[in-house]
Amino acid sequence: MSMDNNKKQIINPECISKKGVLESYGFDFSDTSFDLLMQTRIHRVLLVCSNYDAFMLEEDGRIDEQIFIEYVSLNLRYPPVFVQVDSAEEAFQRLEDENIDLVITMWGKGDMDAFELSRQIKRVHKNIPIVVLTYFSREVSELIDKEDLSAIDYIFCWLGNANLLLAIIKLIEDKMNAEHDIIEIGVQTIILFNNQIYGLTKGQYSPTSYKGFVNKTSPYGTVEEPFHPGELVIGAQGKFFARTIDSNVKLSTEIYIEAGKYKGTSVVEVLQNCIIFNDKVYSYLTDKEEKENRQIILHHNEPMIFGKDNDKGIILKDNKLTVVKIGENGITKADLLVHNSKEINPGIHLMLTNMRYPDYPVAFGIIRSVDAITYDYDVNHQMEEIRAKADIKCVDDLLNSGNTWEL
Protein backbone atom coordinates (compact mmCIF):
# COMPACT_ATOMS: atom_id res chain seq x y z
CA MET A 1 0.00 0.00 0.00
CA SER A 2 1.04 3.63 -0.30
CA MET A 3 0.20 6.75 1.64
CA ASP A 4 -2.76 8.80 0.49
CA ASN A 5 -1.86 11.47 -1.99
CA ASN A 6 -5.23 12.92 -2.95
CA LYS A 7 -4.22 16.36 -1.73
CA LYS A 8 -0.71 16.50 -3.15
CA GLN A 9 -0.17 18.57 -6.29
CA ILE A 10 2.73 20.05 -8.24
CA ILE A 11 1.99 23.45 -9.79
CA ASN A 12 3.70 25.16 -12.67
CA PRO A 13 3.42 28.86 -11.69
CA GLU A 14 3.22 29.90 -15.35
CA CYS A 15 -0.06 28.05 -15.66
CA ILE A 16 -1.82 29.65 -12.70
CA SER A 17 -3.31 32.51 -14.69
CA LYS A 18 -4.36 30.33 -17.61
CA LYS A 19 -7.89 29.13 -17.02
CA GLY A 20 -8.32 25.42 -17.54
CA VAL A 21 -4.65 24.63 -18.08
CA LEU A 22 -4.17 23.01 -14.67
CA GLU A 23 -7.39 21.07 -15.09
CA SER A 24 -6.11 19.76 -18.43
CA TYR A 25 -3.24 18.09 -16.56
CA GLY A 26 -5.81 16.07 -14.64
CA PHE A 27 -5.29 17.63 -11.22
CA ASP A 28 -8.14 17.34 -8.73
CA PHE A 29 -8.21 20.33 -6.40
CA SER A 30 -11.49 19.53 -4.65
CA ASP A 31 -9.83 18.22 -1.48
CA THR A 32 -6.65 20.27 -1.62
CA SER A 33 -6.35 22.86 1.16
CA PHE A 34 -3.70 25.06 -0.42
CA ASP A 35 -4.45 27.81 2.08
CA LEU A 36 -3.21 25.47 4.82
CA LEU A 37 0.16 24.79 3.18
CA MET A 38 3.36 26.60 4.28
CA GLN A 39 1.68 28.21 7.28
CA THR A 40 4.97 29.10 8.98
CA ARG A 41 6.89 31.83 7.16
CA ILE A 42 10.08 33.78 7.72
CA HIS A 43 9.14 37.45 7.89
CA ARG A 44 12.15 39.08 9.56
CA VAL A 45 15.77 38.00 9.19
CA LEU A 46 18.49 39.27 11.53
CA LEU A 47 21.73 39.55 9.57
CA VAL A 48 24.76 39.82 11.85
CA CYS A 49 27.75 40.94 9.81
CA SER A 50 30.33 43.67 9.44
CA ASN A 51 29.56 46.72 7.37
CA TYR A 52 32.02 45.41 4.78
CA ASP A 53 30.17 42.10 4.44
CA ALA A 54 26.90 44.01 4.22
CA PHE A 55 28.41 46.11 1.45
CA MET A 56 29.49 42.96 -0.41
CA LEU A 57 26.02 41.50 -0.13
CA GLU A 58 24.47 44.70 -1.42
CA GLU A 59 26.95 45.21 -4.24
CA ASP A 60 24.18 44.56 -6.78
CA GLY A 61 21.52 46.46 -4.81
CA ARG A 62 19.83 46.37 -1.42
CA ILE A 63 19.31 42.88 0.00
CA ASP A 64 15.57 43.49 0.47
CA GLU A 65 15.26 44.55 -3.16
CA GLN A 66 17.26 41.58 -4.45
CA ILE A 67 15.16 39.12 -2.44
CA PHE A 68 11.96 40.82 -3.60
CA ILE A 69 13.06 40.51 -7.25
CA GLU A 70 13.92 36.84 -6.73
CA TYR A 71 10.54 36.18 -5.10
CA VAL A 72 8.65 37.88 -7.91
CA SER A 73 10.61 35.98 -10.59
CA LEU A 74 9.67 32.69 -8.89
CA ASN A 75 6.04 33.72 -8.31
CA LEU A 76 6.60 33.57 -4.55
CA ARG A 77 4.86 35.76 -2.01
CA TYR A 78 5.77 37.25 1.37
CA PRO A 79 9.44 38.23 0.89
CA PRO A 80 11.14 38.73 4.26
CA VAL A 81 12.63 41.93 5.65
CA PHE A 82 16.32 41.99 6.56
CA VAL A 83 17.61 43.73 9.68
CA GLN A 84 21.39 44.20 9.63
CA VAL A 85 23.51 44.71 12.78
CA ASP A 86 27.28 44.73 13.19
CA SER A 87 27.72 43.79 16.86
CA ALA A 88 26.63 41.06 19.24
CA GLU A 89 25.17 43.61 21.66
CA GLU A 90 22.93 45.08 18.98
CA ALA A 91 21.94 41.61 17.83
CA PHE A 92 20.70 40.65 21.32
CA GLN A 93 18.83 43.94 21.60
CA ARG A 94 17.05 43.37 18.27
CA LEU A 95 16.13 39.83 19.29
CA GLU A 96 14.65 41.22 22.50
CA ASP A 97 12.69 44.05 20.86
CA GLU A 98 11.54 42.47 17.57
CA ASN A 99 10.00 39.26 16.27
CA ILE A 100 12.97 37.66 14.50
CA ASP A 101 12.33 34.42 12.58
CA LEU A 102 15.86 33.62 11.37
CA VAL A 103 19.40 34.64 12.32
CA ILE A 104 22.16 34.65 9.70
CA THR A 105 25.61 35.47 11.02
CA MET A 106 28.85 35.87 9.13
CA TRP A 107 32.07 34.04 9.93
CA GLY A 108 34.63 36.09 11.89
CA LYS A 109 32.26 38.66 13.36
CA GLY A 110 34.45 41.20 15.22
CA ASP A 111 33.44 41.37 18.90
CA MET A 112 32.24 37.74 19.13
CA ASP A 113 32.86 34.80 16.81
CA ALA A 114 29.89 33.27 15.01
CA PHE A 115 29.92 30.05 17.05
CA GLU A 116 29.87 31.71 20.47
CA LEU A 117 27.25 34.18 19.27
CA SER A 118 25.10 31.29 18.03
CA ARG A 119 25.39 29.46 21.34
CA GLN A 120 24.37 32.51 23.35
CA ILE A 121 21.41 33.24 21.07
CA LYS A 122 20.25 29.61 21.23
CA ARG A 123 20.28 29.60 25.04
CA VAL A 124 17.62 32.31 25.09
CA HIS A 125 15.86 31.80 21.76
CA LYS A 126 15.78 28.02 21.33
CA ASN A 127 13.29 28.01 18.44
CA ILE A 128 15.00 30.56 16.18
CA PRO A 129 17.04 28.81 13.45
CA ILE A 130 20.63 30.02 13.09
CA VAL A 131 22.71 29.88 9.90
CA VAL A 132 26.42 30.67 9.68
CA LEU A 133 27.98 31.88 6.44
CA THR A 134 31.71 31.21 6.05
CA TYR A 135 34.36 31.91 3.49
CA PHE A 136 35.82 28.92 1.68
CA SER A 137 39.30 28.03 2.91
CA ARG A 138 41.17 25.09 4.42
CA GLU A 139 41.73 27.06 7.64
CA VAL A 140 37.99 27.62 8.09
CA SER A 141 37.24 23.94 7.44
CA GLU A 142 39.75 22.87 10.09
CA LEU A 143 38.31 25.30 12.65
CA ILE A 144 34.75 24.12 11.97
CA ASP A 145 35.82 20.51 12.56
CA LYS A 146 36.92 21.47 16.10
CA GLU A 147 33.87 23.58 17.02
CA ASP A 148 30.71 22.72 18.93
CA LEU A 149 28.03 23.12 16.24
CA SER A 150 25.03 22.10 18.36
CA ALA A 151 23.55 25.61 18.33
CA ILE A 152 23.85 26.02 14.56
CA ASP A 153 21.22 24.69 12.17
CA TYR A 154 23.23 25.08 8.95
CA ILE A 155 26.65 26.25 7.78
CA PHE A 156 27.02 27.49 4.22
CA CYS A 157 30.08 28.44 2.23
CA TRP A 158 29.43 31.97 0.98
CA LEU A 159 31.07 33.08 -2.25
CA GLY A 160 29.63 36.61 -2.25
CA ASN A 161 26.36 35.86 -4.05
CA ALA A 162 23.22 37.20 -2.36
CA ASN A 163 21.12 34.53 -4.12
CA LEU A 164 22.30 32.16 -1.40
CA LEU A 165 20.09 34.03 1.06
CA LEU A 166 16.97 33.09 -0.90
CA ALA A 167 18.01 29.43 -0.92
CA ILE A 168 18.58 29.53 2.86
CA ILE A 169 15.17 31.08 3.51
CA LYS A 170 13.33 28.54 1.36
CA LEU A 171 15.28 25.66 2.95
CA ILE A 172 14.39 26.81 6.46
CA GLU A 173 10.74 27.41 5.54
CA ASP A 174 10.47 23.96 3.97
CA LYS A 175 11.96 22.38 7.09
CA MET A 176 9.59 24.32 9.35
CA ASN A 177 6.53 23.26 7.36
CA ALA A 178 7.42 19.77 6.16
CA GLU A 179 5.93 17.75 9.03
CA HIS A 180 2.61 19.65 9.02
CA ASP A 181 2.22 19.69 5.24
CA ILE A 182 3.03 15.99 4.88
CA ILE A 183 1.09 14.57 7.84
CA GLU A 184 -1.83 16.98 8.07
CA ILE A 185 -2.36 18.13 4.47
CA GLY A 186 -1.09 15.11 2.56
CA VAL A 187 1.86 16.31 0.47
CA GLN A 188 3.48 13.02 -0.52
CA THR A 189 5.89 13.59 -3.40
CA ILE A 190 9.50 12.87 -2.45
CA ILE A 191 12.08 14.46 -4.77
CA LEU A 192 15.57 13.10 -4.07
CA PHE A 193 18.44 15.11 -5.54
CA ASN A 194 21.37 12.75 -6.05
CA ASN A 195 24.72 14.43 -6.68
CA GLN A 196 26.75 11.64 -5.03
CA ILE A 197 28.23 14.06 -2.49
CA TYR A 198 27.37 15.94 0.71
CA GLY A 199 27.69 19.33 -0.96
CA LEU A 200 26.09 21.48 1.76
CA THR A 201 28.63 20.30 4.33
CA LYS A 202 31.72 20.86 2.20
CA GLY A 203 31.98 17.74 0.13
CA GLN A 204 32.10 14.57 2.23
CA TYR A 205 31.37 11.35 0.38
CA SER A 206 27.73 10.25 0.63
CA PRO A 207 25.84 6.92 0.61
CA THR A 208 25.37 7.29 -3.17
CA SER A 209 29.07 7.94 -3.94
CA TYR A 210 30.51 5.26 -6.20
CA LYS A 211 32.84 2.62 -4.72
CA GLY A 212 36.43 3.88 -4.75
CA PHE A 213 35.40 7.58 -4.61
CA VAL A 214 38.37 9.65 -3.41
CA ASN A 215 37.99 12.93 -1.52
CA LYS A 216 39.04 14.47 1.80
CA THR A 217 36.82 12.15 3.87
CA SER A 218 37.87 9.05 1.91
CA PRO A 219 41.48 9.75 0.85
CA TYR A 220 42.07 6.11 -0.08
CA GLY A 221 38.71 5.59 -1.75
CA THR A 222 35.37 4.42 -0.35
CA VAL A 223 35.10 0.69 0.28
CA GLU A 224 31.32 0.23 0.36
CA GLU A 225 28.96 -0.29 -2.56
CA PRO A 226 26.76 2.78 -3.23
CA PHE A 227 23.19 3.04 -2.06
CA HIS A 228 20.62 3.04 -4.89
CA PRO A 229 17.34 4.92 -4.16
CA GLY A 230 15.35 2.93 -6.73
CA GLU A 231 16.21 -0.34 -5.03
CA LEU A 232 14.93 0.98 -1.71
CA VAL A 233 11.66 2.29 -3.16
CA ILE A 234 10.80 -0.88 -5.06
CA GLY A 235 12.16 -3.15 -2.33
CA ALA A 236 9.89 -1.39 0.18
CA GLN A 237 6.89 -2.13 -2.09
CA GLY A 238 6.75 1.45 -3.37
CA LYS A 239 4.29 1.93 -6.19
CA PHE A 240 5.76 5.01 -7.95
CA PHE A 241 9.39 5.57 -8.86
CA ALA A 242 10.79 7.81 -11.57
CA ARG A 243 14.23 9.12 -12.49
CA THR A 244 15.30 12.24 -14.34
CA ILE A 245 18.41 14.38 -14.74
CA ASP A 246 18.78 18.09 -14.04
CA SER A 247 19.79 18.94 -17.62
CA ASN A 248 16.54 17.53 -19.10
CA VAL A 249 13.92 20.11 -18.10
CA LYS A 250 11.23 18.74 -20.42
CA LEU A 251 11.44 15.22 -19.02
CA SER A 252 11.61 16.52 -15.45
CA THR A 253 8.46 18.59 -15.95
CA GLU A 254 6.56 15.62 -17.36
CA ILE A 255 7.62 13.45 -14.43
CA TYR A 256 6.75 16.03 -11.78
CA ILE A 257 3.27 16.42 -13.25
CA GLU A 258 2.64 12.66 -13.21
CA ALA A 259 4.09 12.37 -9.70
CA GLY A 260 1.73 15.13 -8.60
CA LYS A 261 -1.30 13.35 -10.01
CA TYR A 262 -0.41 9.96 -8.55
CA LYS A 263 -2.65 8.85 -5.68
CA GLY A 264 -0.03 7.63 -3.23
CA THR A 265 3.56 8.37 -2.27
CA SER A 266 5.64 9.12 -5.37
CA VAL A 267 9.44 9.16 -5.37
CA VAL A 268 11.45 10.99 -8.03
CA GLU A 269 15.24 10.66 -8.18
CA VAL A 270 16.99 13.61 -9.84
CA LEU A 271 20.59 13.07 -10.95
CA GLN A 272 22.09 16.46 -10.21
CA ASN A 273 25.49 18.01 -10.82
CA CYS A 274 27.35 19.64 -7.90
CA ILE A 275 29.55 22.32 -9.45
CA ILE A 276 31.54 23.08 -6.28
CA PHE A 277 32.37 19.64 -4.88
CA ASN A 278 31.54 17.04 -7.54
CA ASP A 279 31.50 18.83 -10.88
CA LYS A 280 30.71 16.83 -14.01
CA VAL A 281 29.71 13.79 -11.95
CA TYR A 282 27.17 12.87 -14.65
CA SER A 283 29.07 14.22 -17.65
CA TYR A 284 29.15 10.73 -19.16
CA LEU A 285 25.34 10.94 -19.35
CA THR A 286 25.09 14.53 -20.57
CA ASP A 287 27.84 14.44 -23.21
CA LYS A 288 26.27 15.90 -26.36
CA GLU A 289 27.81 13.32 -28.66
CA GLU A 290 27.02 10.24 -26.59
CA LYS A 291 24.03 10.93 -24.31
CA GLU A 292 21.54 9.22 -26.65
CA ASN A 293 23.70 6.07 -26.51
CA ARG A 294 23.99 6.15 -22.71
CA GLN A 295 20.44 7.06 -21.73
CA ILE A 296 17.14 5.31 -22.35
CA ILE A 297 13.94 7.31 -21.84
CA LEU A 298 11.14 4.96 -20.84
CA HIS A 299 7.53 5.58 -21.85
CA HIS A 300 4.60 3.39 -20.84
CA ASN A 301 3.49 0.94 -23.56
CA GLU A 302 6.42 1.87 -25.82
CA PRO A 303 9.37 -0.37 -26.84
CA MET A 304 12.64 0.06 -24.94
CA ILE A 305 14.65 1.65 -27.73
CA PHE A 306 17.57 4.07 -27.54
CA GLY A 307 20.69 5.24 -29.35
CA LYS A 308 21.59 8.23 -31.46
CA ASP A 309 20.09 6.43 -34.47
CA ASN A 310 17.39 4.62 -32.45
CA ASP A 311 19.16 1.40 -33.39
CA LYS A 312 19.61 -0.14 -29.94
CA GLY A 313 17.16 -1.75 -27.56
CA ILE A 314 16.59 -3.92 -24.51
CA ILE A 315 15.39 -7.53 -24.56
CA LEU A 316 14.93 -10.13 -21.82
CA LYS A 317 17.28 -13.08 -22.27
CA ASP A 318 17.92 -15.83 -19.69
CA ASN A 319 15.99 -13.75 -17.14
CA LYS A 320 18.37 -10.83 -17.61
CA LEU A 321 18.08 -7.55 -19.47
CA THR A 322 20.31 -7.54 -22.53
CA VAL A 323 21.34 -4.70 -24.85
CA VAL A 324 20.93 -5.54 -28.54
CA LYS A 325 21.36 -3.76 -31.84
CA ILE A 326 18.42 -3.73 -34.19
CA GLY A 327 19.30 -5.49 -37.44
CA GLU A 328 22.00 -7.71 -35.95
CA ASN A 329 21.40 -11.46 -35.41
CA GLY A 330 17.89 -11.09 -36.77
CA ILE A 331 16.78 -8.66 -34.03
CA THR A 332 13.87 -6.42 -35.00
CA LYS A 333 11.97 -3.71 -33.16
CA ALA A 334 9.23 -6.26 -32.46
CA ASP A 335 11.67 -8.28 -30.31
CA LEU A 336 12.29 -5.43 -27.87
CA LEU A 337 10.71 -5.28 -24.44
CA VAL A 338 7.72 -2.95 -24.17
CA HIS A 339 7.81 -0.84 -21.03
CA ASN A 340 4.88 -1.47 -18.69
CA SER A 341 5.07 0.91 -15.74
CA LYS A 342 1.76 -0.51 -14.45
CA GLU A 343 3.05 -4.06 -14.01
CA ILE A 344 2.44 -5.20 -10.42
CA ASN A 345 5.37 -7.64 -10.40
CA PRO A 346 8.39 -5.40 -9.65
CA GLY A 347 11.00 -7.67 -11.27
CA ILE A 348 11.56 -5.81 -14.54
CA HIS A 349 11.22 -2.43 -12.80
CA LEU A 350 13.97 -3.36 -10.33
CA MET A 351 16.22 -4.49 -13.19
CA LEU A 352 15.62 -1.20 -15.00
CA THR A 353 16.54 0.89 -11.95
CA ASN A 354 19.76 -1.10 -11.59
CA MET A 355 21.00 -0.62 -15.16
CA ARG A 356 24.43 1.05 -15.00
CA TYR A 357 26.69 2.49 -17.69
CA PRO A 358 28.80 1.15 -19.45
CA ASP A 359 27.07 -2.26 -19.44
CA TYR A 360 23.65 -0.66 -19.95
CA PRO A 361 22.12 2.69 -20.70
CA VAL A 362 20.81 4.48 -17.58
CA ALA A 363 17.01 4.37 -17.39
CA PHE A 364 15.07 7.63 -17.12
CA GLY A 365 11.36 8.34 -17.05
CA ILE A 366 8.56 6.81 -15.00
CA ILE A 367 9.89 3.35 -14.24
CA ARG A 368 7.07 2.22 -11.94
CA SER A 369 3.55 3.64 -11.51
CA VAL A 370 1.20 1.01 -10.13
CA ASP A 371 -2.31 1.93 -9.02
CA ALA A 372 -3.01 0.70 -5.50
CA ILE A 373 -5.43 1.30 -2.66
CA THR A 374 -3.86 3.82 -0.33
CA TYR A 375 -3.32 3.33 3.38
CA ASP A 376 -5.54 6.31 4.23
CA TYR A 377 -8.40 4.98 2.13
CA ASP A 378 -8.28 1.53 3.76
CA VAL A 379 -8.13 2.95 7.30
CA ASN A 380 -11.00 5.37 6.68
CA HIS A 381 -13.05 2.65 4.99
CA GLN A 382 -12.44 0.32 7.94
CA MET A 383 -13.56 2.98 10.43
CA GLU A 384 -16.73 3.68 8.43
CA GLU A 385 -17.63 -0.02 8.44
CA ILE A 386 -17.05 -0.31 12.19
CA ARG A 387 -19.15 2.79 12.89
CA ALA A 388 -22.00 1.48 10.73
CA LYS A 389 -22.13 -1.82 12.64
CA ALA A 390 -21.46 -0.44 16.13
CA ASP A 391 -24.26 -0.26 18.72
CA ILE A 392 -22.57 2.69 20.36
CA LYS A 393 -23.19 5.88 18.37
CA CYS A 394 -22.53 8.55 20.99
CA VAL A 395 -21.25 9.12 24.54
CA ASP A 396 -24.72 8.45 26.04
CA ASP A 397 -24.75 5.04 24.36
CA LEU A 398 -21.33 4.30 25.84
CA LEU A 399 -22.33 5.35 29.35
CA ASN A 400 -25.50 3.23 29.23
CA SER A 401 -23.85 0.12 27.79
CA GLY A 402 -22.50 -2.92 29.64
CA ASN A 403 -22.99 -3.23 33.37
CA THR A 404 -24.73 -0.18 34.84
CA TRP A 405 -26.03 0.67 38.30
CA GLU A 406 -28.62 3.17 39.48
CA LEU A 407 -27.87 4.83 42.85
Q: Where are the domains of the chain?
A: 38-177, 187-301+340-401, 303-338
pLDDT at 32 over 80: no
* Residue partners of 264: CB distance under 8 A and separation at least 6: 2, 3, 4, 5, 188, 239, 240, 372, 374
pLDDT for 271: 97
72-95 pLDDT per residue, tens:
766 667 788 889 898 889 999 999
Name, in order, each residue with C-beta under 8 angstroms of 238's C-beta and a sequence gap of 6 or more: 2, 232, 265, 267, 368
Mean pLDDT throughout 1-9? 38
User: How far is residue 207's CA from residue 198's CA, in Å, rounded to a whole number?
Assistant: 9
Task: Output the pLDDT for position 19.
Answer: 41
Q: Please give the pLDDT value at position 24.
A: 52
- Distance between CA 2 and CA 241 in Å, rounded? 12
The confidence score (pLDDT) of residue 2 equals: 38
In terms of DSSP bridges, do strands 305-306 and 312-317 run parallel, antiparallel, or are they unpaired? Answer: antiparallel
Specify the pLDDT at position 29: 46
pLDDT above 70 for 358 = yes
Q: How many CA atoms lie within 13 A of 51 on its CB side?
A: 0
CATH number for the domain formed by residue range(s) 38-177: 3.40.50.2300
The reported pLDDT for the residue numbered 336 is 97
Q: Confidence band (pLDDT; 50, 70, 90) for 342?
A: very high
Per-residue model confidence (pLDDT) at position 181 = 79
For the CA atoms of 327, 331, 335, 340, the dihedral, rounded to the nearest 10 degrees, stands at: -60
Residue 190 has pLDDT above 90, yes or no: no
Per-residue pLDDT at 177: 86
User: What pTM value is reported for the model?
Assistant: 0.63
403 pLDDT tier (thresholds 50, 70, 90):
confident
Rounded Cα distance, 105 and 266, in Å: 37
Question: How large is the average pLDDT for residues 371-391?
Answer: 89
364, pLDDT greater than 90? yes
